[in-house]
Amino acid sequence: MKTAHGAAADQGHAPASPDGNSSGVEPPVLGGPEFSDYFLLDNLLTDDQRALKNKVRQFMDQEVVPVINPYWERAEFPFELVPKLAQLDIAGFQIAEYGCPGMSNVTAGLVILELARGDLSISTMMGVHSALAMTSIALLGSEEQKQRFLPAMARMEKLGAFGLTEPTHGSDVVKLETTARSDGDSYVINGHKRWIGNATFADYSIIWARGDDGHVGGYVVEKGTPGFDARVIKGKTALRCVQNAQISLTDVRVPAANRLANVHTFRDTEKVLLASRFCVAWESIGAAVAGYETALAYAKQRRQFGMPLAAFQLVQYRLSRMLADITDMLCMQFRLSQLLDEGEYSMPRVALAKMHYTERARAILADARDMLGGNGILLDYHVARHLCDIEAIDTYEGTDTVQALIVGRDITGYSAFVPVAPGHH
Ligand SMILES: Cc1cc2nc3c(=O)[nH]c(=O)nc-3n(C[C@H](O)[C@H](O)[C@H](O)COP(=O)(O)OP(=O)(O)OC[C@H]3O[C@@H](n4cnc5c(N)ncnc54)[C@H](O)[C@@H]3O)c2cc1C
């Protein structure tokens, strides 16, 4: 396979393959950093950041991209990749100590971008484990809880899930109905959760439930606890490798020591959501980069009307628009990451980022799909998988609309989340 670097166009005609997938253009490898880092943000990185980013990119290109499509088609989670992911020493992202890498927000972002550029199911699995489950414990657990749970999670010997959404509460999850009743030295949890990633195999599922005082708390439910029944949601057209579960909790007894010590109200849960929403924003950029790089590589190789597609003005216009969007997103997100590193936490800023990038990534991937012609709908060419997967990124961690409502409330002072029903003032 030829690489897409430089101006060389692959004019070769691949031999007909038995599965009928040969088209004259081999599935292009993803391009190099020169394709998408147009404003040279790489120059701002430290050697360590650059080395880590390249390590993750290489891992995704060599170990994940070549094997992921059949898993995606079968809707299976690639367990074989977990030990290899563990060796990257990235689990826990920004969490310091307890065996975690303690990355800055900029560094964590670069790592997530590279995971997502390779595959959104893998970045999602890592995001649920690190940015949701581990971060819940790191931000809201007691010292004893951090020491008990985090080291094995950092080594990925134990995997985490985060159960917040319910069948009847998605965008309005603040109204969640799952209960945790205090009973001696334990809590008894009852209710239902939906869409919970990793939950069918997770060792520690953080379940959010309403306590006797009416406030939301976080409870670490350990694998094998009676009454915890997680079933895979089948028939997904996005993130097919991620195992999302519908969970029934029936008299699930959790030791009091597993209630996250520093959660007092839903506001505390939102601290975790800010951290993970920030990671999801980086995921969208990674997916957009994959779409752009593949479209560019393909346009250089595919010839029509006697010329590579890359030579046509309209194709160059589309590629330029994609690169402008990616450059815009990277510059914005780099600055947002710096602000977080400086302790400037703002949910509306993170919401703005997630809303904007996901919308642009969807557009870029749809455009890239079209620019690959018929091959664009084949998994072999990678864009199709990203195009399907970005739909889930658009929804999870709050939909496009919900992000806009968060920003809208911030800039206008009016909360437009809950309309007033006719007759109610
Ligand atoms: C693949 C996947 C993985 C997920 N992983 C997890 C996980 O690991 N853990 C977890 O807890 N959750 C998870 N989720 C749940 C996710 O966060 C929710 O799906 C999301 O918050 C949206 O909720 P909903 O699907 O119930 O949609 P709804 O809230 O029913 O929204 C439906 C539509 O109504 C719109 N809408 C809602 N409220 C308003 C309003 N006030 N004004 C205007 N429009 C509105 C929405 O924008 C959307 O377009 C996952 C979801 C998916 C799809």
HEC readout, 331-379: HHHHHHHHHHHCCCCCHHHHHHHHHHHHHHHHHHHHHHHHHCHHHHHCH
Q: Is the CB of 142 under 6 A from ligand 1?
A: no
Distance CA 273, CA 142 (A): 19
Domain boundaries, the chain: 33-154, 160-264, 267-412
Q: Report the atom number in ligand 1 closest to the C-alpha of 198.
A: 8
Q: Which atom of ligand 1 is nearest to the CA of 416?
A: 41
Determine whether 406 is exposed, middle or buried from the number of CB atoms within 10 Å of its CB (0-12, 13-18, 19+). buried
Q: Which residues pair with 217 in a beta bridge?
A: 209
Task: Give the integer Cα–Cα distance in Å for 271 and 411.
Answer: 21
- Class in CATH terms, 160-264: mainly beta
Q: What is the pLDDT of residue 21?
A: 63
* pLDDT attached to residue 5: 35
CB 197 near ligand 1, within 6 Å: yes
Q: How confident is the model at residue 419, as a pLDDT?
A: 86
212: Cβ–Cβ under 8 A, 6 or more apart, which residues?
A: 180, 181, 182
> So what's the pLDDT on residue 30?
63
Give CATH for domain 267-412.
1.20.140.10
Q: Residue 13: what pLDDT?
A: 36
* Coil, helix or strand at residue 139: helix
Cα 210 to ligand 1 centre (Å): 20
Q: What is the per-residue pLDDT for 29? A: 61
CB of 131 sitting under 6 A from ligand 1: no
The residue type of 265 is T
Taking the C-alpha atoms of residue 284 and residue 117, their distance in angstroms, rounded to an integer, is 9
Tell me if 195 CB under 6 Å of ligand 1: yes
Closest alpha carbon to 394 in 373, 363, 425: 363
For 54, other C-beta atoms within 10 Å of its C-beta total 13
pLDDT for 330 equals: 98
d(CA 30, CA 116): 13
Look at residue 26 in the predicted model and tell me its pLDDT. Answer: 75
Query: How far, in Å, from the CA of 309 to the mean position of ligand 1?
Result: 39
* pLDDT in the model for residue 220: 98
Ligand 1 pocket check for 170: Cβ under 6 Å = yes
Per-residue DSSP letter, 236: -
All residue ranges of the chain with pLDDT < 70 are 1-24, 28-34, 425
CA distance 287 to 386: 6
Predicted local distance difference test score (pLDDT) of residue 11: 35
Report the topology of domain 33-154.
Butyryl-Coa Dehydrogenase, subunit A; domain 1 (1.10.540)
Q: State if residue 245 touches ligand 1 by the CB under 6 angstroms criterion.
A: no
